[in-house]
Structure 1
């Protein structure tokens, strides 16, 4: 903000540096956000549903409100408002009650850094979670803007703005599903593997239906349905991790998952972009559905780990 005020503009290289720093800080925040849930909540199903639902609702409102503020009051004023919101958010975090944390003074810095990786390597349940998640990450790359825009423009014959409607429908689906899982959390967590398996198979079917029935109006419905189904499986997955891993080690494991997910997503986006460019968007959607089916098969085979 200070550079905007003093310089009125920021060099592109400096802006990229800021984006990298913000991404790094966000990488710290994401694992901690889910790792602290067991320390403050007794009903993990409802807590994770509320956390995901509030985050998605904030993004849904924030994108539209942010664009409106930028168009009406300009970049500098909008950035100052964002800075103020960050300050208020950080201040509110001070009111969280203190949680008891077991401090292991015998651990060296290197041990702390590799603690999460050792846990993943030793626990077959965590290895299953990450292996299955890799299939889903590859599948989800079809929703990246550079790929889904090809579907929107080539098969639906719509402009780029229609992609925004799809994102909104997706977010509405997540919020709706969050309300359902919040209300029926006990039922969804009774048998976790079924609560993960059913949405996976359903999303695969919807993905195939999208390319079989390329209709603009139906696509919005399918987008909301995918958002809803993805949220249905996310809550039992989060609860599974929080119940499987010790509280003191949870943030380390979440950090490992975040690193693996981010790196694999970057590679898979490049791979899916290449496939889309050379073989067409239909093949990309077909591969996405196949990956979801393979993940579902893996979950079913190892369902004993998810009880």
Structure 2
């Protein structure tokens, strides 16, 4: 019996690993499709619209998912997930765009994304900022926020949900802000990225030192707005920096960095939080502020190309 349970656990972990592996293929390809489908001048608004839709679905998915877990069994939920994935594949097949053929060998293709990042100053600066902010992102892992709620705010588990919800609502509002404004010049987009990083870093520092629950909700909301605006503008700058046929390789490289830095961030900031959770948020806020300062000091270099 123990052997069968052990094999089932290994099989489940292998399935999770395969899902993550193929998601690593799909994410950069899916992200690089939008510039093929819309004009460059409208790219920021469409990125914002997609982000608003994504965040809204995530907000709705939490209560809906909880209800389904209570109402259905595990097999039914797995079949529902499979059906939704299958439906998304059908919709993806309906998208028509011009394909760019490439005869680059696989080994060369793996290196090409990094070479392109090194070739474009803007991408280099944005990648450095991405690494710094990625190292700070782990502070919002559920385990760390839960410790903050219990030890600093002296509240129950419900407040962990309130803080997460206020953050997601902030990201949705940040997306709506970008939908309403018109920013076409790359220099203006870059300056918005810097301001978003500086504000989100400053708000994170305040979040770590303030122990008033209501103010924590407001700061979480403000951080969501600033991060969403900064991330969407940074994403748009990356999409417009290279030829469309090269974009999947660049996005693959940047997403790989994001995954690695986030994993390291959860590990390192989790260790810091085990000693002092306030120090974890101060460290994260400091890293984000440094990211904004890097972008500020290197703005002429980043916009040179």
TM-score (norm 2): 0.91
Partners of 1:72 and 1:104 lie apart in 2 by 48
Partner of 1:139: 136
Which runs of at least 4 in structure 1 moved beyond 4 Å after TM superposition? 187-190
CA RMSD of aligned residues (A): 2.1
Among 266, 284, 287, which residue is 1:269 paired with? 266
Cα distance 1:222–1:187, how it changes in 2: closer, same or farther (>3 A)? farther
Partner of 1:4: none
Partner of 1:104: 102
Contact 1:181 1:232 survives alignment (8 Å): yes
Pair 1:89-2:50 in alignment: no
Residues 243-252 or 139-148, more deviating: 139-148
1:187 shift after superposition: 6.8
Partner of 1:214: 211
1:188-207 equivalences under 5 Å are: 191-207=188-204
Partner of 2:286: 290
Contact 1:204 1:290 survives alignment (8 Å): yes
Among 11, 14, 20, which residue is 1:14 paired with? 11
Structure 2 unaligned regions, length at least 5: none
Partners of 2:249 and 2:162 lie apart in 1 by 37
Partner of 2:111: 114
Cα distance 1:128–1:189, how it changes in 2: closer, same or farther (>3 A)? closer
1:102 shift after superposition: 2.9
Query: How many residue pairs are counted as aligned between the two chains?
Result: 298
Among 222, 232, 235, which residue is 1:235 paired with? 232
Structure 1 unaligned regions, length at least 5: 1-6
Partners of 1:185 and 1:178 lie apart in 2 by 13
Partner of 2:146: 149
1:116 shift after superposition: 0.8
Cα distance 1:269–1:49, how it changes in 2: closer, same or farther (>3 A)? same
Deviations 1:45-82 (A, max 9, x none): 11100111111111111222111111012222222222
